[in-house]
Structure 1
Amino acid sequence: MAAILAFAGSNSSKSINYQLVKYTTSLMDNHTIQLLNMVNYPFPMFGEDYERDNGYSNSLVELKDDMAKADGIIISVNEHNSGPSAYFKNLTDWLSRVERKFLDGKPVLLMSTSGGQRGGITALEATKTVLPRFGAEVVATFSLPSYSANFKEGEGITNAELAKTHRAAVDQFLSKL
């Protein structure tokens, strides 16, 4: 049984990426899942002056420690203006200051979704490029386009082909744990 930490790169209370992560973890039997809602993790904008004057918050250090304890990480990034959200970028900035390789050796399932036909793919690809700098091994990716047309809360992914692709990504991730 593996310990999996899962969260969305969004701090929105209505995050569709959080819904995708929640659904994804519901498919993982026989594993210990720690599902984080990032609404509960407000961090100030990173700045060297702020860091010097205030140090690191307990919640940031606890998040970094939870990542270190996990056997694998699931992240679904949201997209703002063709890139990862400012919240997610800020989160990685803070985590990398506490420990540069905060994802050292961790297998990662990286996902994204959006209301549009591209499914947040630009943010996913940018994040896929950056996470290895922090020690992550991105072992599988999945993008869900047109969230409203392809996902129903309580049911999950409604498009059969996308559901099959998602399941393959989940299985690939689990095989690395």
Structure 2
Amino acid sequence: MSEPVVLGLSGSLRQEATNRKLLREAARLFGPCFYAEADLNLPLYDGDAEDADGVPALVQTLADQIAASDAVLISTPEYNKGPSGVLKNALDWVSRTSGSPWANKPVAVMSAAAGRAGGERAQMVLRGFMVPFQPRILQGPEVHLAGSGSAFDEAGQLISAQYTKSLQALMDKLRAEIGR
């Protein structure tokens, strides 16, 4: 069997965001795969613009990437007790594309945040946002990376053995879910 295709979606646009680092660490722990990060720097959803111009090419590319992947990793910061607007906007746009790119797709959700809850509320809200798309969201182990600004070493790997163990368990579960 060829290496699985794993797509990462970061709820933060910053190139060195801890959510991007968490996604990359998850992909490393997942093991052999073709890993790519999606570009969520999309225009704000606007129904009038969609009516006038259709779905933007960047949005269609994202939907196509989701559809073509064997699994999706989503990592979100917590902004005002919820996921980022960037991530919600991407989900809204993808819902406007034809087909159902999320349907039955294995998805692992995680979060990295500066606060001590590690984005737990954002992750809970995100799971609710995903319900209409009917993916196969893994129910755990949950990974809520607290104090994320100091959670990675120079190589981008998690410092904490506890977080590494939880993330490894989540990736093992995701790999098994792909094979299901």
Query: Residue 33 of structure 1: which of 22, 35, 42 is its match?
Result: 35
Question: Is the counterpart of residue 120 in structure 1 residue 126 in structure 2?
Answer: no
Tell me which residue corresponds to 1:147.
148
Q: Deviations over 1:15-47 (max 9, x none)?
A: 2101110121122332222233x3xx4322112
Contact 1:119 1:145 in 2 (8 A): yes
The unaligned stretches of length 5 or more in structure 1 are none
SS of structure 2 residue aligned to 1:152: coil
Distance in 2 of aligned mates of 1:96 and 1:52: 15
2:169 corresponds to 1:171: no
User: In terms of mean alpha carbon deviation, does 99-108 or 158-167 score higher?
Assistant: 99-108
Structure 1 residues 155, 5: closer, same or farther in 2, change over 3 A? closer
Query: Post-superposition, which runs of at least 4 consecutive aligned residues in structure 1 deviate over 3 A?
Result: none
Letter in 2 for 1:115: A
- The residue aligned with 1:51 is 50
Residue aligning to 1:61: 60
Matched, 1:24 2:23: no
Which deviates the most, 43-52 or 142-151? 142-151
Any conservation in 2 of the 1:68–1:103 contact (CA below 8 Å)? yes
What secondary structure sits across from 1:75 in the alignment? strand
Q: 2:89 matched to which residue of 1?
A: 90
CA 1:29–1:13 in structure 2 vs 1: closer, same or farther (change >3 Å)? closer
- The 3-state SS of whatever aligns with 1:80 is coil
Output the CA distance in 1 between the equivalents of 2:79 and 2:42: 18
Whether contact under 8 Å (1:120, 1:145) holds in the other structure is: yes
Aligned to 1:84, the other structure's residue is in SS state coil
Q: Check if 1:134 corresponds to 2:133.
A: yes
Identity of aligned residues (%): 25
1:101 touches 1:133 (CA, 8 Å); kept in 2?
A: no
User: How many positions carry a matched residue from both structures?
Assistant: 174
Task: Check the 8 A contact 1:102/1:135 in 2, yes or no.
Answer: no
Structure-2 change in CA distance of 1:151 and 1:91 (3 Å): same
Q: Residues 68 and 155 (structure 1 numbering): CA distance in 2 closer, same or farther, change over 3 Å?
A: closer
Q: State the distance in 1 between where 2:19 and 2:79 align.
A: 13
CA distance in 2, matches of 1:160, 1:22: 17
Deviates more, 1:7-16 or 1:42-51: 7-16
Q: Which protein has the bigger strand share?
A: 1
Give me the CA root mean square deviation. 1.7
Do the aligned residues in 1 keep the contact of 2:18 with 2:149 (CA within 8 Å)? no
**Alignment TM-score, normalising by the size of structure 2:** 0.89
In structure 2, how many angstroms separate the alpha carbons of the residues matched to 1:70 and 1:116? Answer: 31
Closer, same or farther: CA 5–157 of 1 in aligned 2, 3 Å? same
